[in-house]
Structure 1
Amino acid sequence: HGLLGAAGLAIVSLMSAAPVRGQAGMEQKPPMAEEVFKNVQVLKGIPVNQFMGTMGIFSAALGFSCEDCHTASDRGWDVYAIDTNPKKRTARRMVTMMTEINRANFGGRQVVTCYTCHRGNDRPAVTLNMATLYAERPPENADVIPAFPGAPSSDQVLDKYVQALGGAQRLAGLTSFVAKGTSVGYGPEGDKRPFEIFAKAPGQRTAITHTLDGDSIIVVDGRGGWVAAPHRPVPVLALTGQDLDGARLDADLAFPSRIKDALTTWRVGPSETIGGRDAQVVQGTGANGALATLYFDKESGLLVRQVRYADSPVGRIPTLIDYSDYRDVSGVKMPFHWTVAWLDGQDTVQLAEVRPNIAIDAAKFARPAPPSR
């Protein structure tokens, strides 16, 4: 997973960012894939973040790593443009085929994706596996959750969440915090790394993972946001579109007194089981169209999972975050442990301390410098 894994930590997980309500016009134009990478033929006209997420879909849908299609190495991103591997040329044909199937049969709606047929295999199965026919299979829920008759209203679920955290008055009294802990990645990123969060309401937050290759940083200053990390095709990249939607939601969950304003078109779906416990499922939509599904423990009311989706030309790009180890911080419950999983990696954060309502230098929320070792 090499270069893509290191980049994915900052690009896809977006664990720390902030709300920028009603400021879509202020977003910077993101660099397009063909402006950054060489030899882009089919996936032109999409931002770099979406392009990288699309690579993650290829990887997950086929069970591949970068090296299965690319001449990947630590020599730099230019080697990814080489076309010596026939699998890369096949991928271009498959994207064109998938697009035409959706155009000809579904009015251009994204009904068929890479995962529809491949399901984690490089070659789609053509014969039923009898060993699994009568076995219990894990559920595969729809991305878009319809409203469920008889379910409580979204206001009821979200009000219970606010109360479970300590109540609206105490939440409003939390105006800033600094947190420190550790982050453990996936595979070669599996060593513990120092981790810090600087957050100030409304809408300012910086998260820093100190890696051996340099700092991975996500910053939001209340208006815009950036990601910077080692081994990235763009050293410092502005957050835009549905990436910004996800960042806004993460920030609202850090200061959740106004959680109802985080998304629109809230709807409550059927209950599900998370970690052996019943969870109430609520879904909403971000300003730029990103879907986000929140799972609240039915008994405690606390948030236990978030799944959000961003669009790509070959399917939705999911990010899953599981929250646990809620502790009291000045009368407000905060998760001290979370695991974020995306298509090319996983990161687990364990906080050791949170200091609430302290002064934070405004420079902490400035555009980050390119990472250096």
Structure 2
Amino acid sequence: KKPKETARKMLRMVETINTQQFEGRQQVTCTTCHHGSNRPDRNTVVASEMTPGEAAAAQRASAARQDLSGRGRPGEGGPGRGAPGADGARGQQPPAVPEGARTAGAGGRDSQAEPAEPPPPAESVDDVLDKYVQALGGHDAVAQAKTRVMRGTATARDLQQAPITVQEKATGEYRIDTEGRQGTQTRAFDGKRAWMQMPNGVRDVEGVNAQQITRLADLGLPLTAKARYEHLRSARYGSIDGAPTIVLIGSPAANVTEWLHFDRTTGLLARRNIFTRTALGQLQEQVDYGDYRDVSGVKLPFQVRYATWNSVSTQRFTDVKVNAPIDDGQFARPAATR
């Protein structure tokens, strides 16, 4: 039978890989790719927070490296450092949901057969976005929110906390300052280019890493979503932690697809999943929004969790101001220092 023939081929492939690449040691198994599923998982999944025990071990290892090197590492780097970029056209078909991804209405694949594609929602893109804007406070209130300044803390994957300050304009400029043990790290976007400043210098950021810096620059999203995402469509219903959602899918950039999950009861944006196609496979990021509160007539999330394939940052804000004055120089790249 064909399934048995396929299984035998896979076993021979695993044996060949271990023999030729690992001197016969059993380093690769069926589980390496399949994880109990009929179809191998070719996609990354988002990282999760460490347990307290894992975090303590990571801190001990970091301290040991610092002792050996004689100097500490300058703060926490941006998520996905060194991630590859890719060229291509926008608006390609959305990717299959990676197994293990915490996305609404899409769990891991069944080991016997893939579920049938559900019918599209009755609500249109305009219906979903209009409800979103109304839930935030209405078109006029959202349009009048030109800037926001937020202060709070960010908890990293290793459970370490650091004070943060976020400055943002509705036109897309964005800056986040993180106060680390070795000094302040800044990641920013001036509307045209992204940059990063560490205690030891400043540099430009390009490709996927530049896109990541602007992921959370979403103050203007409610009124610009249709311009921001090509081929935006109402795709499916789902749920997040038991709350019913509706999912819009669109493409904000070349080789990037986003799923936007809106709470069907409140109308608020609950989650974004970002899928980036690269030569090394598909990379996934996830942004979760919660604890919405009214600030100057507009509802804003006071908790934002951003996870990539190798990092997690949970931002909790205690002070949020809308239309606070922000000097444009805050977004400008500083001159390099010697």
Same-fold status (TM-score > 0.5): yes
Do structure 1's residue 169 and structure 2's residue 140 form an aligned pair?
yes
Instruction: Say how many residue pairs are matched.
Output: 243
Do structure 1's residue 224 and structure 2's residue 224 form an aligned pair?
no
2:171 equivalent in structure 1: 202
1:293 equivalent in structure 2: 259
Output aligned runs, 1:108-127, within 5 Å. none
TM-score, normalised on structure 1? 0.57
Do structure 1's residue 236 and structure 2's residue 203 form an aligned pair?
yes
Distance 1:286 1:147 in 2: 24
Q: Say if 1:160 and 1:371 are closer, same or farther in 2 by CA, change over 3 A.
A: farther
Q: In the alignment, which of 159, 181, 200 is matched to residue 212 of structure 1?
A: 181
Please report how far the alpha carbon of residue 368 of structure 1 lies from its aligned counterpart in structure 2 after TM superposition: 4.7
Output aligned runs, 1:14-163, within 5 Å. 57=44, 138-139=107-108, 148-163=119-134
Whether the 8 Å contact between 1:246 and 1:308 is mirrored in structure 2 is no
Please report how far the alpha carbon of residue 58 of structure 1 lies from its aligned counterpart in structure 2 after TM superposition: 11
**Letter of the 2:278 counterpart:** S
Please report how far the alpha carbon of residue 335 of structure 1 lies from its aligned counterpart in structure 2 after TM superposition: 0.3
1:83 equivalent in structure 2: none
Distance 2:274 2:199 in 1: 25
1:339 equivalent in structure 2: 305
Please report how far the alpha carbon of residue 193 of structure 1 lies from its aligned counterpart in structure 2 after TM superposition: 0.6
Whether the 8 Å contact between 1:185 and 1:346 is mirrored in structure 2 is yes
**Letter of the 1:359 counterpart:** P
Q: Say if 1:303 and 1:291 are closer, same or farther in 2 by CA, change over 3 A.
A: same
Greater helix percent: which structure?
1
Please report how far the alpha carbon of residue 271 of structure 1 lies from its aligned counterpart in structure 2 after TM superposition: 1.0
Deviations along 1:139-188, one digit per CA (max 9) or x if unpaired, are 359xxxx894343111111111111111111111011121100011012x
Q: Say if 1:195 and 1:341 are closer, same or farther in 2 by CA, change over 3 A.
A: same
Do structure 1's residue 322 and structure 2's residue 288 form an aligned pair?
yes
Q: Say if 1:340 and 1:205 are closer, same or farther in 2 by CA, change over 3 A.
A: same
Whether the 8 Å contact between 1:252 and 1:262 is mirrored in structure 2 is no
Whether the 8 Å contact between 1:245 and 1:288 is mirrored in structure 2 is no
Please report how far the alpha carbon of residue 330 of structure 1 lies from its aligned counterpart in structure 2 after TM superposition: 0.6
Give aligned-pair identity as a percent. 30
Whether the 8 Å contact between 1:216 and 1:371 is mirrored in structure 2 is no
Please report how far the alpha carbon of residue 199 of structure 1 lies from its aligned counterpart in structure 2 after TM superposition: 1.2
Moved more, 321-330 or 208-217: 208-217
User: Considering only aligned residues, what root-mean-square deviation do their CA atoms show, in Å?
Assistant: 3.6
Do structure 1's residue 192 and structure 2's residue 158 form an aligned pair?
no
Distance 2:215 2:155 in 1: 23
**Letter of the 1:182 counterpart:** T
2:248 equivalent in structure 1: 282
Unaligned stretches of 5+ residues in structure 2 = 1-42, 48-64, 70-94, 101-105, 111-116
Unaligned stretches of 5+ residues in structure 1 = 1-55, 61-72, 77-110, 120-136
Distance 1:215 1:140 in 2: 43
Distance 1:260 1:218 in 2: 27
SS in 2 for 1:359: coil
Deviations along 1:350-370, one digit per CA (max 9) or x if unpaired, are 000111112212221111577
Please report how far the alpha carbon of residue 213 of structure 1 lies from its aligned counterpart in structure 2 after TM superposition: 2.7
Whether the 8 Å contact between 2:189 and 2:214 is mirrored in structure 1 is no
Q: Say if 1:368 and 1:311 are closer, same or farther in 2 by CA, change over 3 A.
A: farther
Greater strand percent: which structure?
2
Please report how far the alpha carbon of residue 341 of structure 1 lies from its aligned counterpart in structure 2 after TM superposition: 1.1
2:272 equivalent in structure 1: 306
Please report how far the alpha carbon of residue 290 of structure 1 lies from its aligned counterpart in structure 2 after TM superposition: 0.9
Moved more, 220-229 or 206-215: 220-229
Deviations along 1:60-115, one digit per CA (max 9) or x if unpaired, are 8xxxxxxxxxxxx6689xxxxxxxxxxxxxxxxxxxxxxxxxxxxxxxxxx99xx9
Larger radius of gyration: 2
Distance 2:238 2:141 in 1: 30
**Letter of the 1:200 counterpart:** K
Q: Say if 1:182 and 1:305 are closer, same or farther in 2 by CA, change over 3 A.
A: same
Distance 1:197 1:291 in 2: 25
Distance 2:46 2:246 in 1: 31
**Letter of the 1:213 counterpart:** Q
Moved more, 325-334 or 158-167: 158-167
Distance 2:118 2:185 in 1: 39
Distance 2:109 2:336 in 1: 40
Q: Say if 1:255 and 1:292 are closer, same or farther in 2 by CA, change over 3 A.
A: closer
Distance 1:371 1:333 in 2: 40
Distance 1:292 1:268 in 2: 12
Moved more, 255-264 or 268-277: 255-264
**Letter of the 1:152 counterpart:** E
Deviations along 1:175-219, one digit per CA (max 9) or x if unpaired, are 1121100011012xx222101111123121101111113323221
Q: Say if 1:342 and 1:245 are closer, same or farther in 2 by CA, change over 3 A.
A: closer
Distance 1:192 1:215 in 2: 13
Q: In the alignment, which of 323, 331, 334 is matched to residue 365 of structure 1?
A: 331
Please report how far the alpha carbon of residue 276 of structure 1 lies from its aligned counterpart in structure 2 after TM superposition: 1.1
